[in-house]
Amino acid sequence: MINLSTLEVVVQEQQARFKRQDLSVPREIDYEAYFKTELVVVITGIRRSGKSTLLRQFAAKDKNFCYLSFDDERLINFDVNDFTLLMLLWQKGGDFKSIYLDEVQNVPKWERFVRRIHDEGYKVFVTGSNSKLLSSELGTHLTGRYRQIELYPFSFGEYLQLCKLPTKNITTTAKQAKTLHAFDAYLQHGGFPYYCKTKERSFLTMLYDNILYKDVLFRFAIREKKAFRELANYAMTNITKEFSYENLAKNLQLKSSITVKDYLSNMEEAYLFCMLSKYDFSLKKQHVSNKKLYAIDNGLRNVVAFSFSGDGGKLLENAVFIELKRRNNGDELYFHKDKRECDFIVRNGASIVQAIQVCEQLTPENRQREVEGLLEALERYKLPRGSIVTKDAELTEKHGKKHVDIVPAWKWFLNNF
């Protein structure tokens, strides 16, 4: 239970601070659709990706609302029974129609309260930073009552808006030069809003530590902290590379492949990494096949990993993967590997709908490998055309009945091709 006077002070301070918060860059979502829905809106994503700012952007369309963030040490003893006290405090302040709850996963059984107030007719927005924790709670008590927004750090289009650069009609040489310069910066620095504004490297190192210790080590009560951190650092360095749990356990001298699998799953739940599976028509083979790891953000990766001069291709592939996740409309992502390899295939329902290869530069040495890998995927999944995303090349090639679109990355990220 929480002290009434403490709660009252926190509520007043947070509400005032929330109203003063900068609205920042509009995100690439359909605000009206989420604002008009009668369902609970659940915003999930990694720490500092802009969830609180997105709440403020929604609240800007609201006249009467109440807000509380549970990422506040003064609310550490807040439990589900205190929600009744919270409602009384809010109601004492006047009429309101909407409720905004930030980092709500910090309160056990929060979903029971949200269901009750939703049933009472309140419009409810909630945010959280742990995918599995939220999904289990949502599935238990809010089935059919919510719509989810999975929020990532800034897209390239959002980054351009922050830089006050255009995202459309980039036709002149001068405009393209500025866009290319911005893309190179985006590829290196990533899209965490605060870091994009300040370039304070310490922000990313502290963020990484907070995610590891607060969202993973503490939450999952992991005792082998040194081994866990070594695995996380190794994974950051080796993004886009194929791996098996067994080999990682052996290379890092961890207890077992099960330990590696559990640790990586814990990090994935905190949105630090995403895992990609090889596509196979057999679900059993797909489950046991090698995986690839992708970091949630290039900037976060670069402050942690051992960086090498040849990392440009990794960073481009990682950024393309995250962009595909950001665009997700219920699609599933895999990589293709048989005689050749294709970086990404996109499955929608029962059908493969896209095949995408990523290559920083097409050269005489790698061109055949990259094109043949894409063509193999197009043939296997009966697709008429596919894309190769590169830093600068642009043309369309015909290979028999298949079309290969070679697309500059900046255009691909802006859907401008």
Mean pLDDT computed over 3-13: 95
Q: Lowest mean pLDDT: which of 133-142, 229-238, 253-262, 277-286? A: 133-142
CA–CA dist 353, 350 (Å, integer): 9
Q: Cα 252 from chain centroid?
A: 27
Q: Lowest mean pLDDT: which of 133-147, 246-260, 361-375? A: 133-147
Q: Which DSSP string corresponds to 62-78?
A: -SSEEEEES--GGGTT-
Tell me, yes or no, if the two domains 4-151 and 154-310 fold the same way.
no
Percentage of the chain lying above the pLDDT 70 cut: 98
Higher-confidence residue: 331 or 132? 331
**Residue 353 bridge partners (DSSP):** none
Q: Where are the domains of the chain?
A: 4-151, 154-310, 327-417
* 107-133 exposure pattern, b = at least 16 Cβ within 10 A, e = fewer: beebbebbbebbeeebbbbbbbbbbeb
Q: Lowest mean pLDDT: which of 6-15, 74-83, 274-283, 335-344? A: 274-283
Interacting residues of 32 by C-beta distance below 8 A, sequence separation 6+: none
pLDDT at 133: 60
**Residue 396 bridge partners (DSSP):** 405
Q: Are strands 385-390 and 351-358 parallel, antiparallel or unpaired?
A: parallel
Mean pLDDT computed over 371-390: 98
pLDDT tens-place string over residues 287-328: 778 999 999 999 999 999 977 667 899 999 999 999 999 997
In the sheet where 40-44 sits, what is the strand order? 65-69, 98-102, 123-128, 40-44, 146-150
pLDDT tens-place string over residues 64-111: 999 999 999 999 999 999 999 999 999 998 999 999 999 998 999 999
At residue 20, what is the residue type? Answer: R
pLDDT tens-place string over residues 45-68: 999 999 999 999 999 989 899 999
CA–CA dist 8, 35 (Å, integer): 28
pLDDT tens-place string over residues 131-178: 766 677 777 788 889 999 999 999 999 999 999 999 999 999 999 999
Q: What CATH number has the domain spanning 154-310?
A: 1.10.10
Phi first, then psi, for residue 41 (nearest 5°) are -100, 120
**Residue 149 bridge partners (DSSP):** 43
Residue 186's H or E segment, with its range, is: helix 173-189
Instruction: Output the CA–CA distances (angstroms, integers) from residue 256 to 244, 246, 261, 262, 275, in the order listed.
Output: 12, 7, 9, 10, 19
- DSSP class of residue 214 equals I
Residue 329 pLDDT > 80: no
Token representation of residue 97: 């129609």
At residue 105, what is the residue type? Answer: Q
Mean pLDDT computed over 8-18: 97
pLDDT at 45: 93
pLDDT at 319: 98
At residue 238, what is the residue type? Answer: N
* 20-36 exposure pattern, b = at least 16 Cβ within 10 A, e = fewer: eeeebbebeeeeeebbe
Identify the residue whose tokens are 């080590």.
217
pLDDT at 309: 64
Mean pLDDT, the chain, rounded, equals 93
Residue 194 pLDDT > 80: yes
**Residue 41 bridge partners (DSSP):** 125, 147
CA–CA dist 411, 408 (Å, integer): 6
Token representation of residue 35: 């604002």
Which of 226, 248, 190 has the alpha carbon at shortest distance from 48? 190
Q: Are strands 65-69 and 98-102 parallel, antiparallel or unpaired?
A: parallel
pLDDT at 380: 97
Say if residues 40 and 114 touch (Cβ distance below 8 Å).
Answer: yes
pLDDT at 195: 97
pLDDT at 407: 97
Q: What is the pTM of this model?
A: 0.94
pLDDT at 328: 79
pLDDT at 130: 78
Q: In the CATH scheme, what is the homologous superfamily, with its name and number, of domain 4-151?
A: P-loop containing nucleotide triphosphate hydrolases (3.40.50.300)
- Percent of the chain that is helix, strand, coil (3-state, to 5): 50, 20, 35
Identify the residue whose tokens are 């590169």.
390
Which of 271, 296, 397, 279 has the alpha carbon at shortest distance from 346? 279
